[in-house]
Structure 1
């Protein structure tokens, strides 16, 4: 029989934390890639070890007992701290590891296409990509360098230095060649609204990049389009654009490779200067290890930005 001072197995604690957070054994199992019965067995084992029930079933579903609710708060805090510290030690434990954070769109359309050249120059460096839509969710200890669009004048998490990678950026309307083949050419801005499908990001964080703003800033008449496809993810809209489902707004330099290869085409000969620019974000007050320093120097040289001064981070809107 285990000592009464022994801690419960980590698997039991993880199952309990997930079940209490979701209020469901089934959803906890889905998160942990376990069956509902496996979660139930872990909870019963933990309850036997503790000598008291942790959950009760009500008409509304599964609910922690008072003791279970208190234990959940303790376990959740400890598991989070353990996870954060484990990630920190893993990241800092090897000078040849490099963690790069960005939005999924930047990671897939821009960053991943530059990594092969860097890896050929630095085969000894192991790279990890962390995709986070919202820069507010970034923990400064989780990454070495990050890439987001930098928009001045907005409140943003402190502690980041921003170095613009592009001298200027244009926002353009893009679609796939297959879309034009199926729906015909887009004759002008009025025709786009009248006959075609506009892909729209439902995201308050990107209010500075909406179709209405794009139209009105160029002196174009705006009214709601005849057809819209909405999503809360810009990356999802980009996938829909590539699949020929409509026309979306995008950054010309971010999508340069797709435009050059013909997977995307400019739908209209119009553009709007972007208020934000893709920037390299570096946590301030941290000594850069050899791997992130090598990547930073390589990237800024590649982008023709070597020697450009960084500015204090005002904002980093995601794409």
Structure 2
């Protein structure tokens, strides 16, 4: 089909005309459209020039539509309403097949990335998008369907979010790679860990409740500054360092279960500590979740239940 020789009027002029004709007032149109009255007047004039005929009678007592304006108003209003309905329907259909998840870089790379292929095999028509942030408060809740973040049970839920724990309880364990033990030898006890091994320490003000000092207290031992340490403010980098054999790290057993099963990580010491923070699904309030989000929520909680039973 060849392109028409005559261009359609600009959509913003048509929208402005529809509002002005509905109110029979440039002033009220400007208020509804958040424009100045002069901007409304200029757009109407541009449309009339484009059509080569007046659409309004400008009278002392106000505006009225010319016969051409009446016909054009009916056509424009019908088309804009149809466009609005069809756009809403397309957005709804798109939402049915799109899932946007928000999570930390660590959860996304170490845990979530391994789970999503399983979910997508069962839901092959879904498109999945992941937003990474260390803190859910740094994201607008309108940007995603579901969030996955660690949260302290005693703390209030982040504003605008409803929280559901993914696991009933979680344990903090010490982990390292098998290659690290091969190079540095076994860890005999906690004091040997501090003296002869490298501790991987996260300096993270979001999760400063996951600390070596707390872990040592829970194990009934005295903690002091380790002889060798690698420190970073990125928990993702910390876990990558553990996988690469650079030292011993603290981690959530549920989050690292696939790495432990695959043999890429192993428990460095037998002691485990009950975690004061748990992984939560975070769902925005006051918004009906799309089918994709409901499907993922149901699938994930069922998966987490099976995974916890296997620990």
TM category, shorter: 0.5 to 0.7
Counterpart secondary structure, 1:294: helix
Note if contact 1:91-1:99 (Cα within 8 Å) is conserved in structure 2.
no
- TM-score by length of structure 2 reads 0.67
Counterpart secondary structure, 2:246: coil
Counterpart secondary structure, 1:215: helix
Q: What's 1:118 paired with? A: 119
1:235-246 to 2 correspondences below 5 Å: 235-246=236-247
Q: What's 2:193 paired with? A: 192
Q: What's 1:217 paired with? A: 218
- TM-score by length of structure 1 reads 0.65
Distance 1:209 1:303 in 2: 22
CA drift at 1:155: 4.7
Q: What's 1:31 paired with? A: none
**1:301 matches 2:305:** no
**C-alpha root-mean-square deviation of aligned residues, in Å?**
1.8
Distance 1:207 1:92 in 2: 42
Q: What's 2:277 paired with? A: 276
Distance 2:266 2:168 in 1: 22
Distance 1:285 1:101 in 2: 18
CA drift at 1:93: 4.7
Q: What's 2:147 paired with? A: 146
CA drift at 1:92: 8.7
CA drift at 1:154: 2.5
CA drift at 1:219: 1.4
Question: How many aligned positions are there?
Answer: 217
Counterpart secondary structure, 1:198: strand
1:126-275 to 2 correspondences below 5 Å: 126-275=127-276
**Could you give the per-residue CA deviations for residues 222-264 of structure 1, whole angstroms, max 9, x where no partner exists?**
1110011110100000111111111110001110000011100
Distance 2:131 2:280 in 1: 16
Distance 2:235 2:280 in 1: 18
Distance 1:257 1:186 in 2: 23
Describe the shift of the 1:91–1:153 C-alpha distance in structure 2 as closer, same or farther (beyond 3 A).
farther
Counterpart secondary structure, 1:299: helix
**Could you give the per-residue CA deviations for residues 259-311 of structure 1, whole angstroms, max 9, x where no partner exists?**
01110010001110001111111111110111111111222222339xxxxxx
Note if contact 2:153-2:278 (Cα within 8 Å) is conserved in structure 1.
no
Distance 2:205 2:237 in 1: 16
Distance 1:198 1:187 in 2: 15
Describe the shift of the 1:90–1:238 C-alpha distance in structure 2 as closer, same or farther (beyond 3 A).
farther
Q: What's 1:39 paired with? A: none
Counterpart secondary structure, 1:269: strand
CA drift at 1:106: 0.8
For structure 1, the 5+ residue unaligned runs are 1-88, 306-319
* Farther-moved stretch of structure 1 (89-98 vs 286-295): 89-98
Describe the shift of the 1:203–1:90 C-alpha distance in structure 2 as closer, same or farther (beyond 3 A).
farther
CA drift at 1:156: 5.0
CA drift at 1:140: 0.1
For structure 2, the 5+ residue unaligned runs are 1-89, 307-311
Distance 1:94 1:162 in 2: 22
Describe the shift of the 1:95–1:215 C-alpha distance in structure 2 as closer, same or farther (beyond 3 A).
same
Note if contact 1:91-1:142 (Cα within 8 Å) is conserved in structure 2.
no
Counterpart secondary structure, 2:216: helix
CA drift at 1:103: 0.6
Distance 1:245 1:300 in 2: 33
Higher relative CO (Cα under 8 Å, sequence separation at least 6) belongs to 1
